[in-house]
Amino acid sequence: MIKKSLTPNISVKIKGKNVLVAPLDWGLGHTTRCIPIINALIINHYHVILAASGKSAALLQKEFPHLTIVPLAGYHVQYAQSSTWLPVKLLLQVPKIIRAIKNEHAVLHEMVQQYSIDWVISDNRFGLYHPAVHCTFITHQLTIMAPYQWLRNLLQRINYQYINRFDTCWVPDMGGDEGLAGILSHPKQLPAIPVQYMGMLSRFESTTTFHPEYVYDYCFLLSGPEPQRTRLENIVLSQIEQIDASIIVLRGLPEQANAIKSKHNILSHLPGKALQQVIEQSKFVIARSGYTTVMELLSLQKKCFFIPTPGQTEQEYLAERLADLQLCFMVKQEHLNIAEQLTALEQFPFKTLQPKIFTAQQLKLLIQNL
């Protein structure tokens, strides 16, 4: 297996216009945050090829029906239901993850030759580095949160060993003290390769400078890996039946038809523009605290109620950090009592954020600094 040099190599340039974009398959967050990158590439006249499978491929097919999507197997990582068992659960899956990384690395060589790839943009796919092609790794997790400091240190060393095989690392956050993700994206020590902060990624572009007339009191956005997505859905659907308010629930299932009956609006999925309209027409948004969801909702300056996925220490850290900054209201899933907490939500003293958003112009600047 040929490895990249572990020292920065800023002399490697992009030779042409064929770009492979490949998001990780852990939930849909990595896929949706690639949408503004893909749009920026298209605006800058790059020829984009996508690599994905399953729900990620289904979502990308709906957003970009004119683009080629090459099948690429995912990692299929399963999370623990609690933080206590997370280290054990992850360690047991290490062999499977390593096999997936080796497989995608081998597949990439075939893709580069078949599609004449000039540039690879990998969102957290560790195996998509190539000795003859410029490869960019996207991650906001330079620090991987874990319940124990020894495990956090170990995971960061392993994380950096893989990241350093790429040519550049892009971090979807604001630089300096303005960083949204805290120590996740702003660790004490950075990888050896050049690191660039690209601003917050959002497929949404705010179209109003005033508060629109609200159609919905509460919008529930369900997302993330199974089985926790389904568990939260079951809790939400059972509890909102007793709530007298205008509610819409988006299930985060782009591959399924709408088939749930309720007095409220229950939809499996909405494409980007329709989703943004629903979010902007909602007074409050209740969602997981996945980083992509956080970036998109705060970019629209929405009042958010975050419910971290149990066992995902990153989401727990983000929700607690943002709640401390009064940028969101948060409750853990095991304490969820929607009727009571919606009353508290109405009284929460929200602060607003002035985010720096990634744009097509920002892409040009990142490319110039490769």
pLDDT exceeds 70 at position 36 = yes
Tens-place pLDDT, residues 222-263: 987 778 889 999 999 999 998 999 999 999 887 676 666 667
pLDDT at 184: 95
Classify domain 18-200+357-368 at the CATH superfamily level.
Glycogen Phosphorylase B; (3.40.50.2000)
pLDDT exceeds 50 at position 350 = yes
Tens-place pLDDT, residues 263-307: 788 898 888 889 999 999 999 999 999 999 999 999 999 999 999
pLDDT exceeds 90 at position 16 = no
pLDDT exceeds 60 at position 366 = yes
Q: Where are the domains of the chain?
A: 18-200+357-368, 216-347
Q: What is the average pLDDT value for the chain, to the nearest integer?
A: 88
121, β-bridge pairs: 21, 136
pLDDT at 273: 86
Dihedrals φ, ψ of 324, to 5°? -60, -35
Find out whether 287 and 297 touch, Cβ atoms under 8 Å: yes
pLDDT above 70 as % of the chain: 90
Q: Averaged over 353-369, what is the pLDDT?
A: 89
Amino acid at 280: E
Find out whether 173 and 180 touch, Cβ atoms under 8 Å: yes
Start-to-end CA distance of the chain, whole Å, equals: 25
Q: Which residue has the higher pLDDT, 90 or 340?
A: 340
357, β-bridge pairs: 200
Q: Which residue has the higher pLDDT, 2 or 242?
A: 242
Q: Averaged over 314-332, what is the pLDDT?
A: 95
pLDDT at 80: 60
pLDDT at 14: 74
Helix (H) or strand (E) holding 39: helix 29-43
* Identical fold between 18-200+357-368 and 216-347: yes
pLDDT at 333: 94
pLDDT at 145: 85
DSSP 10: T
pLDDT exceeds 60 at position 329 = yes
pLDDT at 86: 61
Tens-place pLDDT, residues 168-203: 999 999 988 778 999 999 999 999 999 999 999 999
Domain 216-347 CATH (choose: 3.40.1110.10, 3.40.50.2000, 3.90.1150.10, 3.40.50.720): 3.40.50.2000
Q: Averaged over 19-25, what is the pLDDT?
A: 95
DSSP 250-294: E---TTS------SSEEES---HHHHHHHHHTEEEEEE---HHHH
pLDDT above 90 as % of the chain: 65
CA-wise closest residue to 59 among 309, 256, 330: 256
pLDDT at 11: 38
Q: Which residue has the higher pLDDT, 254 or 13?
A: 254
pLDDT at 8: 39
Q: How confident is the model at residue 151 (pLDDT cuts 50, 70, 90)?
A: confident
Would the pTM of this model clear 0.85, i.e. be above it? yes
Dihedrals φ, ψ of 365, to 5°? -65, -40
pLDDT at 3: 42
Tens-place pLDDT, residues 40-79: 999 999 999 999 998 899 889 999 999 999 999 887 777 6
pLDDT at 26: 75
